Amino acid sequence: MLLQMPDLWGFLCTPNKWRPILRPGFEHVTCGGDNLAFSNFRPHIFRSWLHRIQPHRARFSFVAAPDVVGDADATLARFPSWERALHRMGFPVAFVLQDGITPDRVPWQSCEAVFVGGSTAWKMSDTVLDLLKSAGMRGKYRHIGRVNSVIRYRHFHPYAESCDGTGITRYVDRYIDRMMPALIELRHAPKWTRP
């Protein structure tokens, strides 16, 4: 599930969870794409999945280029070839922000979005908020991964267009009651805006 700010709901597709976007009634649901680097990235499965979702690419706000969890240098090394492949297929590319990245090292010219990954401690740091502000000033779409609490949702709300959380997907009944008041309250809250 993808929580969009302020549209509320979208769908975060992964190579192992994407078929719901084909169901009747889902034709206009906005999507994001994740690569499963956090759990089990497999290049051949990722490539096959991209070909399957390519006919629906206009619905995607981003597809995260394959990254290396917690490692900015390795993510930067992996990015160029995947960025070119994703752009050739017509997808908007997200560069995944990982521990150690700084604004001067982000390949801003080669991506349309940023996706906040990384360790929990780093994700919640002021460094990440500065990166998100830099992305906003450049007109980049901003997505936050692993947002499974109202506290984290409130923390990132002013700085991002969307977020996701597997806890919300797995335990919808439990989370929806907790999250909905914050979603409604923050839906109309003023956001950080570009100068």
The string of DSSP letters for 155-172 reads HHGGG-SEEE-HHHHHTH
The per-residue pLDDT string of the chain (195 residues; one tens digit each, 9 = 90 and over) reads 455 544 567 788 899 877 777 777 777 778 999 998 888 789 999 999 999 999 999 999 999 999 999 999 999 999 999 999 999 999 999 999 999 999 999 999 999 999 999 999 999 999 999 999 999 999 999 999 988 777 888 888 889 998 887 655 555 566 566 666 666 555 544 443 332
**Domain for residue 194, yes or no?**
no
Global pTM value = 0.85
Question: How many domains in the chain?
Answer: 1
Q: Which domain holds residue 110?
A: 2-186
Question: Are 128 and 155 spatial neighbours (Cβ–Cβ below 8 Å)?
Answer: no
Mode of pairing for the β-strands spanning 93-97 and 113-116: parallel
By the 10 Å C-beta count (0-12 exposed, 13-18 middle, 19+ buried), 133 is classed as middle
- Residue 59, sorted as left (phi over 0), alpha (psi -120 to 50) or beta, turns out to be alpha
Q: CATH number, domain at 179?
A: 3.20.20.70
Closest CA to 50 of 10, 18, 9: 18
**Domain for residue 191, yes or no?**
no
